[in-house]
């Protein structure tokens, strides 16, 4: 029931029409009896959008592409993890004070921990963008031995240097070197569902293979990893865990993770 006490929360990005965050968060609010509503806003003018957070008394905001880095200069405070990563995907409005967090890192680690431990493991991260940066910092902090695999040497080497990790061109990838493989690129995302960053012959059954793409639920990479008897983690897992951390930051309540996951899976089935 929306009334004069309903808290306003939302997603700021461009584009946002494809996002499943409103479905996930609104069902979670309903499940725990939190009086809030979460809406998606297509934002092209970030300065005006930030002013609206305080003017309209938003309780919290998710930040997605292309604003995760630019948003930082508008905030009153940035959490240490987000500052280290250099990107914010979550804002909490604490009585007019805007505090930035990065829950992508937390979401990726929690997703991985459903299938494996991290400390001491050799991890290959495909890609060198914002998601790779967030996940990479989390893995290094958790004791993972990270290698960045990327087609662009300059971008990959820059991220590897920031992480104090190894860089290799994607063409030099050798499966026997790694216990965990994570795709952070959009390769395999709908509608290019026949694409994969790694051919099946370069997957090993001892691996845990994670893909942060969640549409389709099973990318070609994950399907072929299953054929090779790898343990697999789909993109919904990271998406839900990062959303659960957001939910807890905003509401102070324990996130109903099963409900959040089921809402996303149901939405994907009906797309």
Active site residues: 68
> How far is CA 77 from each of CA 17, 72, 159, 175, 246, rounded to the nearest angstrom?
29, 9, 24, 41, 16
* Nearest in space to 21 (alpha carbons), one of 262, 270, 251, 260: 260
- Compute the distance between CA of residue 139 and CA of residue 119 in angstroms, rounded to an integer: 8
* Nearest in space to 190 (alpha carbons), one of 126, 130, 132, 271: 271
Among positive and negative, which fits the CA dihedral 237, 99, 85, 62? positive
Query: DSSP characters for 71-136?
Result: GGGG-SEE-HHHHHHT---EEEEETTEEEEE-HHHHHHHHHHHTT---TT-EEEEE--SHHHHHHH
The token pair that represents 36 in the structure block = 């809030």
The token pair that represents 24 in the structure block = 């996930």
- Compute the distance between CA of residue 250 and CA of residue 215 in angstroms, rounded to an integer: 27
- Compute the distance between CA of residue 31 and CA of residue 11 in angstroms, rounded to an integer: 20
- Report yes or no: 167 and 157 within 8 Å, Cβ to Cβ: yes
What are phi and psi for residue 41, nearest 5 degrees? -125, 125
């Amino acid at each position: 029931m929306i009334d004069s006490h309903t808290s306003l929360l939302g997603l700021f990005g461009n584009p946002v029409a494809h996002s499943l965050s409103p479905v996930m968060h609104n069902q979670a609010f309903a499940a725990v009896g939190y009086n809030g509503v979460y809406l998606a806003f297509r934002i092209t003018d970030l300065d005006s959008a930030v002013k609206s957070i305080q003017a309209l008394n938003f309780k919290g905001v998710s930040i997605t592409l292309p604003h995760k880095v630019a948003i930082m200069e508008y905030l009153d405070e940035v959490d240490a993890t987000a500052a280290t990563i250099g990107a914010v995907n979550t804002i909490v409005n604490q009585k007019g004070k805007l505090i930035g967090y990065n829950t992508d890192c937390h979401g990726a680690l929690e997703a991985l921990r459903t299938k494996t431990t991290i400390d001491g493991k050799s991890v290959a991260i495909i890609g060198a963008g914002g998601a790779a940066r967030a996940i990479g910092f989390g893995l290094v902090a958790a004791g993972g031995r990270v290698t960045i695999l990327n087609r662009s040497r300059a971008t990959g080497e820059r991220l590897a240097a920031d992480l104090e990790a190894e860089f290799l061109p994607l063409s030099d990838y050798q499966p026997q070197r790694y216990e965990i493989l994570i795709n952070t690129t959009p390769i395999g995302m709908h509608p290019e569902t026949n694409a994969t960053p790694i051919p099946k012959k370069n997957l090993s059954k001892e691996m845990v293979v994670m893909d942060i793409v969640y549409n389709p639920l099973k990318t070609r990479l994950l399907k072929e990893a299953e054929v090779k008897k790898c343990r697999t983690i789909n993109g919904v897992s990271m998406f839900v865990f990062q959303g659960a951390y957001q939910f807890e930051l905003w509401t102070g309540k324990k996130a109903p993770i099963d409900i959040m996951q089921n809402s996303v899976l149901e939405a994907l089935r009906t797309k």
